[in-house]
Amino acid sequence: MVKSETKIRVRYSETDRMGYVYYGNYAGYYEVGRVETLRKLGFSYKEIEEKGILLPVIDFSVQYKKPAFYDDEITIVTTMKELPGLRMSFYSECYNQQNELLNSGKVTLVVIDKTSNKPCLPPDWLMNAMKPFFS
């Protein structure tokens, strides 16, 4: 299992008329968590794409519990619970500065070969880097 924590400060432009973080912004927050989780594994999205692998989102779900507000510091906890196959799943939770759960969700990516534009298994270089985190 791989777990990472990333902090984000809510910007004014991310809030709606009620002063809450607009619900659609959580997709971007989850992306920040995914990018940092992959970085913890030793890769950036940019490097993965340069090596011929694309990782488009094929499923996104979120369950909202409480709102976040302008200038709140949000902690995004992102977890990969299993080694990827054709799909790679990330589980996310967002907490406010009082450590209250704001929402939780899951994002599933599909591994795509950039040349053929078809789903593929993760290449050996990616799997070999991930395996030590899942033993």
Catalytically annotated residues = 16
E strands, the chain, are 2-9, 53-54, 57-64, 73-80, 87-95, 101-110, 112-113, 118-119
3 three-class SS: strand
Under 8 Å between Cβ of 78 and 54: no
Bridge partners (DSSP) listed for residue 121: none
Chain mean position to CA 114: 21
| Backbone phi, psi, residue 71, to 5° | 75, 0
Compute the distance between CA of residue 110 and CA of residue 54 in angstroms, rounded to an integer. Answer: 8
